[in-house]
A and B are shown apart, each in its own frame.
Chain A
């Protein structure tokens, strides 16, 4: 399991921001935490780093999202994926 903690920043437009929050709330792997101004603390639990990255891309592309910052990552119990640089 790959767990990460995010700070999600929403755009200035209240309707778009609300839409993005609803999308996040209804997507399975997210837990929404407290919010402050245009930001909200969010956690993501994904099966592996790649799935986490795919969710990150998905959130970044949502209308109503200004930006996503990852501030915490824990991965001890997910299989450690490996890559060769030249492959």
Chain B
């Protein structure tokens, strides 16, 4: 036996060594865009272990892992060396991803609250309870999902509510993390999502991070960039930030600015580009027009604004000189000039990246517009490594929210419910009678929860709310107002994998399958659609979220709800096998049977993506690839080609021959992008004598989102066990606070105690504190503000006024 065990361990050690050696070789020698070796890359050979590919469950980077399964359990994880995104690398969360399935408190039975206590019920009872509530009042039902919904899950939920219930009260938690990027793209280029991709990291000379702690939030991409430095590339990292982070430690320039002054800094760059005659005149004349946010200064700003001339634009930005902006931004004149000179230098390739810092902002759309503007104005746009790109925090914020259109105003394929011609296209593809889609935009996230938490007789017209794959009881801002005030007679349904802050208030809890316990499709931050197959069974009675939606839809069909039928009286989710026989996929025993429900839904969804040239790849192609970046175009030889850069003739076959650059979905219909002016606007709440500090919230390397998965991984939990408040040394000295002291944070919304940490993981400047939001025992969102961007409706979690009181040493 000992010999056998020894041989087995040698096998595993040798597999580990072989994986490490091959990643090392690939990273040391192979240029980033080199072709893949023929015949693929061999996987570690381990006795009894079967490997299959899947995207990582966590962030929006879209790393691929290989999952090792033995005897029905996940037993090994290795970075997928065939994946272009991560090239075999994983972050600390990624290589622990297999453990998230096996927390001891997985939800395994549906539970209904009776006399204040959750008690087990059957799935039939659960589905019937939901269907009867919706049937009684379809218009007071709302669906709240996330960028963790798979593409088919989000598509089914969207079709169910918009195409079935004629109700648009569906919104995802991605509203809270990247909605400002959406409005920024749409109001600049006329269509959502980045034109570029991660390849920019391999080609830029300068990387500017706009309020983005890249090292902790997207560590694999950060390594990809830093790796170039190790190889000797002369590249510059500029960290534009409101606090020192792990990213700052590797930066060449750390520019710490005052919250909200990013608007002035961007305008200051534009002012300097103009003042130094560095406008890319040829590019701008051919491909851009200028835009101001109002008819006349002082009017309310609008999303699409008004045309203006270059001279007007020049006049607007003229006041944002380095000297003027230095007075309010916290940056020196020299630091502002460093940025201005970089953008004026055509020889350098500049890549700008951002995530929550720019998006969770009461002027989120504006700052997105401005960063696009400085790149377009200066001509730092369109070459690999030379352009602006937003990142996402969830694995399918792009795929399921932006492409499938699970926001309250949208339909799949970037269509809108309030545009009759676009709604008609959706009705045609869904085979629905004309007029089925309600033209009234549904409630966005903050409105939805406000309406749910307001008594019905006071205008709270959402009575039943179904949450899937997210944890609003921890992630919504101003929790006392938007979550904790839920009236007793309103009904909260939560589908999840573990008990959470949200299930605490739920009336009905449904146990869900997660990650490789089900089939799935995600879409990452660089337009890459990724597919995986189910590898292990979920525990107990846990079932797919998508099945739950279809089962409720079928129950409503049986109850006679007319919206659950299409024009030909067929069920909304009618699916047939290869012989044309209907498969009752609403029955769990048939769900993983003769049809692949994911593939059926995806195939139905795919034509939507072709309407605005976002053609996602066929499902069968995705099964072979480590994701493909849309638009994916069929070649004359029958193969499918992804698109690295949109709007550029060299890469994008949708660009007319000879055009070079073509913004073919431009707002004005002239194939031109907008260069926006947006003024500095103060935040709604600023430090004052009562609440003298800025409160910033965010994430840490070890935990993902609200920590419901990563806090079940013992190693990650021990590495970062609890939330803390990061305090500057200056403020700590003034308040007599030391590391480890108990302090209380108080805002106008509430108060909460934390342990103080001075010069720990990050370093706040004077007047600024930071708290991570992963800890369900310390809900920092009890203190945050729900004020949001007027266009994207995304709240600002990065700035509100707070005071700190020492409690005990």
Contacts and interface: CB of A to CB of B under 8 A. Distances in A.
Contacts of A66: 230
B707 interface: yes
A61 interface: no
Contact of B68 (A34, A43, A70, A74): A74
Which secondary structure characterizes the binding site on chain A? Answer: strand
Interface in A42-87: 42-43, 45, 49-50, 52-53, 66-67, 69-76, 80-86
B498 A7 contact: no
A84 B76 contact: no
Contacts of B230: 9, 38, 66
A34 to B, nearest CB: 6
Contacts of A80: 99, 102
B17 A33 contact: yes
B714 A83 contact: yes
A83 B713 contact: yes
Interface in A2-20: 3-7, 9
Interface string B699-722: 000000001100111110111000
Contact of A86 (B15, B27, B90, B776): B776
B20 interface: yes
B13 A73 contact: no
Given A39-B28, A74-B46, A45 B13 contact: yes
B718 A53 contact: yes
A5 B16 contact: yes
A43 B98 CA distance: 19
Contacts of B18: 5
Sorting the interface of chain A by its residue count into under 10, 10 to 19, 20 to 34 or 35 or more gives: 35 or more
Contacts, number: 143
B468 to A, nearest CB: 19
Contacts of A69: 23, 89-90, 223
Contacts of B717: 83, 85
A28 interface: no
Contacts of B712: 82-85
Contact of A42 (B20, B44, B708): B20
A76 B76 contact: yes
Interface in B1-46: 9, 12-13, 15-21, 23-25, 27-29, 44, 46
A24 interface: no
Contacts of B79: 71-72
A30 to B, nearest CB: 11
Which of B19, B73, B714 has the most C-beta atoms of chain A within 10 angstroms of its own C-beta?
A: B19
Contacts of B68: 74
Given A1-B9, A85-B707, A85-B711, A73 B223 contact: no
Contacts of A70: 90, 92, 95
B24 A36 contact: yes
B809 interface: no
5 contacts: A37-B28, A69-B23, A71-B23, A72-B16, A74-B16
The 5 closest A-B pairs by CB, nearest first: A5-B16, A76-B75, A85-B711, A41-B20, A5-B20
